[in-house]
């Protein structure tokens, strides 16, 4: 009888939890969106509001939700980072990134390394941490946070001069792998103190090389699969991309490469290729990236106990100030020492060293490893992330204007991705009649290498008007109605189709 009552109570509690979790989760999500909508009127970054709502809903807050499971938080964090990094990669314009590729790589590798080493040395000098524990803390907060940088730069619509924004987005999207490798390496040295520092060097090269190769390889393979597979519903293509994203991450991690680097490279490659239903994929990933940012910050907010953070506010503030004013500039200036770049640009890159959810996710690794100072490291990292977003995130626009690196409002450029999503109106309309000997016959639109500056808005076939898509096959005698701005655009279309042009006035 006693056993039966216990079983019934357990089942009842499980059902109650299962029934309420959707309600609580949806309410937190709803409140986050509503609060985030008005947060910028007060100059507060949206991501910080999400974190605060999670803390208010937690055990120390008014919600009283008890959540103390670093393993679940780490899983949610890794899944969320997959979506955030992949979305950032899809939005990365290769033409904008190519001129600053070397600078971006230097910042995401050497910049992270120098930041971790300088901050780790400082922590070792001012605390009772061992040298490896200090370097572990420095490694955890050494990278800029992609979620914070992408969301704050884009939500503020901040336009910057001379390829500065692509540099920042490339760095934030590609430097997490380096921080991850350093975190795992120094955590290994903390746990296994008999190992030497030299033993972690092969791990670094293995992670980076295999991650890069896998990212590019899966990118090419994913393009073939997306464009060749024939799905009956347009909505299935984004689902297919999600599956390919997780396959890329998991497979790369399984063979010993860096999964975060692989999915970012894969996404950058796909974002700059012709894909079927690309517009649908981009829009869906933009929404999912925001959802994952909210879920990630809410989860980490629930995991944190403010009462445990307060005792470390003093040392946390000291380390945070050193990171912002000394360690980050050291990393930026040393990694860019061989590049020609104005001093004001270097200072601004140093200031956009936003720490957000990624360091907090990485701080769960020491918790799961069970090292002595794991909780202290976690609480300090949490405080550093909050102060970074609060101080640097709220002043990006002000500092950009102060350093004269911001573009005037009327001069803000529009990226190729933005053009694809918002369907800019064109000034001219022309018809292209497909002759039987045209090289476009029996080819899909996605395979034509059609110019990005022009759009096929309609196809007239046998007196019937068709709405074109990437998988639409061009047939002889088709009449393509193309929108573009300049005659040069139509010349590119004509060369692509190997066709004659009939002009229409609009």
Residue 23 neighbours by CB under 8 Å, 6+ apart:
none
pLDDT for residue 98: 84
CA distances from 173 to 18, 143, 144 (A): 35, 10, 8
In this predicted structure, what is the pLDDT of residue 158?
Answer: 62
Q: State the Cα–Cα distance between residues 88 and 108, nearest whole angstrom.
A: 15
The answer to whether the CB of 388 falls within 8 A of the CB of 354 is yes
Element (H, E) at 480: strand 479-484
- pLDDT of amino acid 156: 57
What are the pLDDT digits (tens) for 318-356? 999 999 999 999 999 999 998 888 888 899 999 988 887
The answer, yes or no, to whether residue 43 has pLDDT greater than 70, is no
- For position 419, what pLDDT does the model report? 46
Rounded to 5 degrees, φ, ψ at 456 are -85, 110
Please tell me the distance from the alpha carbon of residue 283 to that of residue 280, in angstroms, as a whole number.
5
Residue 415 contacts by C-beta under 8 Å, 6 or more apart in sequence? 91, 93, 96
Q: Identify the pLDDT of residue 220.
A: 94
So what's the pLDDT on residue 353? 82
pLDDT tens per residue across span 237-251:
899 999 999 999 999
**pLDDT confidence tier of residue 157, bands split at 50, 70 and 90:** low
Q: What share of the chain is helix, strand, coil (3-state, %, to 5)?
A: 70, 5, 25
Confidence band, pLDDT 50/70/90 cuts, at residue 160: confident
How far apart CA 183 and CA 141 sit, in angstroms, is 9
Pick the more confident residue, 227 or 45: 227
Enter the pTM of the model.
0.75
pLDDT at 394: 78
What local confidence, expressed as pLDDT, does residue 504 receive? 43
Distance (Å) of CA 206 to CA 108, 245, 352 = 17, 21, 29
**Own/partner pairs, 472-475, CB within 8 angstroms, 24+ separation:** 472/444, 472/445, 473/442, 473/443, 473/444, 474/434, 474/438, 474/440, 474/441, 474/442, 474/443, 474/444, 474/445, 474/448, 475/434, 475/441, 475/442
Q: What is the percent of the chain where pLDDT is above 90? A: 22
pLDDT at 502: 44
User: Which domains are assigned to the chain?
Assistant: 43-411 (1.20.1530.20), 425-504 (3.30.70.1450)
Average pLDDT of the chain is: 79
Residue 117 φ then ψ, to 5°:
-70, -45
* Per-residue model confidence as pLDDT tens digits over 392-449: 877 887 888 888 887 655 444 444 444 444 444 445 677 788 887 787 788 877 777 7
CB atoms within 10 A of CB 397: 15
Distance between CA atoms of residues 171 and 164, nearest Å:
11
| Separation between Cα atoms, residue 492 and residue 238, nearest integer Å | 30
Comparison of pLDDT for 95 and 34, the residue scoring more: 95
Is 135 a residue whose pLDDT tops 90?
Answer: yes
């Amino acid at each position: 009888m006693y056993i039966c009552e216990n079983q019934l109570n357990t089942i009842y509690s499980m059902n109650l939890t299962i029934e309420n979790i959707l309600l609580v989760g949806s309410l937190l999500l709803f409140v986050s969106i509503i609060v985030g909508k008005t947060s910028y009127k007060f100059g507060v970054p949206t991501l910080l509001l999400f974190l605060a709502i999670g803390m208010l809903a937690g055990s120390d807050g008014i919600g009283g939700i008890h959540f103390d499971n670093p393993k679940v938080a780490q899983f949610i964090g890794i899944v969320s980072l997959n979506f955030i990094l992949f979305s950032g990669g899809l939005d990365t314009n290769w033409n904008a990134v190519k001129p600053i590729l070397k600078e971006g790589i230097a910042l995401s590798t050497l910049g992270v390394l120098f930041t971790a080493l300088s901050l780790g040395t400082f922590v070792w000098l001012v605390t009772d941490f061992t040298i490896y524990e200090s370097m572990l803390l420095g490694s955890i907060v050494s990278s800029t946070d992609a979620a914070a940088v992408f969301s704050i730069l884009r939500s503020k619509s901040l336009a910057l001069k001379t390829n500065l924004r692509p540099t920042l987005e490339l760095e934030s999207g590609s430097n997490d792998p380096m921080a991850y490798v350093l975190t795992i390496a120094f955590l290994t040295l903390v746990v296994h103190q008999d190992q030497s520092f030299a033993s972690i060097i092969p791990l670094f090269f293995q992670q980076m090389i295999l991650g890069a190769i896998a990212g590019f390889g899966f990118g090419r393979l994913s393009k073939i699969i997306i464009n060749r597979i024939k799905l009956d519903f347009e909505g299935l293509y984004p689902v297919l991309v999600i599956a390919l994203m997780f396959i890329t991450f998991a497979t790369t991690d399984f063979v010993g490469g860096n999964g975060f680097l692989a999915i970012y490279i894969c996404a950058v490659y796909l974002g700059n290729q012709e894909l079927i239903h690309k517009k649908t994929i981009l829009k869906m990933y933009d929404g999912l990236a925001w959802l994952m940012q909210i879920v990630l910050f809410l989860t980490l907010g629930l995991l944190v106990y403010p009462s445990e953070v307060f005792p470390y506010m003093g040392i946390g503030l000291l380390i945070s100030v050193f990171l912002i004013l000394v360690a980050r500039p050291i990393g930026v200036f040393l990694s860019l020492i061989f590049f020609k770049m104005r001093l004001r640009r270097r200072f601004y890159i140093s200031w956009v060293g936003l720490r957000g959810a990624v360091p907090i996710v990485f701080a769960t690794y020491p918790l799961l490893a069970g090292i002595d100072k794991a909780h202290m490291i976690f609480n300090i990292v949490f405080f550093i992330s909050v102060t970074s977003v609060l101080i640097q995130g709220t002043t990006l626009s002000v500092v950009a204007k102060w350093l004269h690196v911001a573009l005037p409002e009327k001069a803000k450029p529009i990226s190729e991705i933005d053009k694809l999503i918002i369907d800019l109106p064109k000034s001219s309309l022309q018809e292209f009649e497909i002759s039987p000997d045209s090289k476009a016959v029996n080819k899909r639109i996605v395979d034509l290498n059609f110019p990005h500056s022009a759009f096929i808005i309609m196809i007239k076939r046998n007196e019937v008007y068709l709405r074109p898509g990437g998988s639409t096959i061009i047939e002889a005698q088709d009449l393509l109605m193309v929108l573009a701005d300049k005659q040069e655009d139509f010349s590119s279309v004509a060369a692509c189709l190997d066709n004659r042009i009939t002009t229409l006035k609009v």
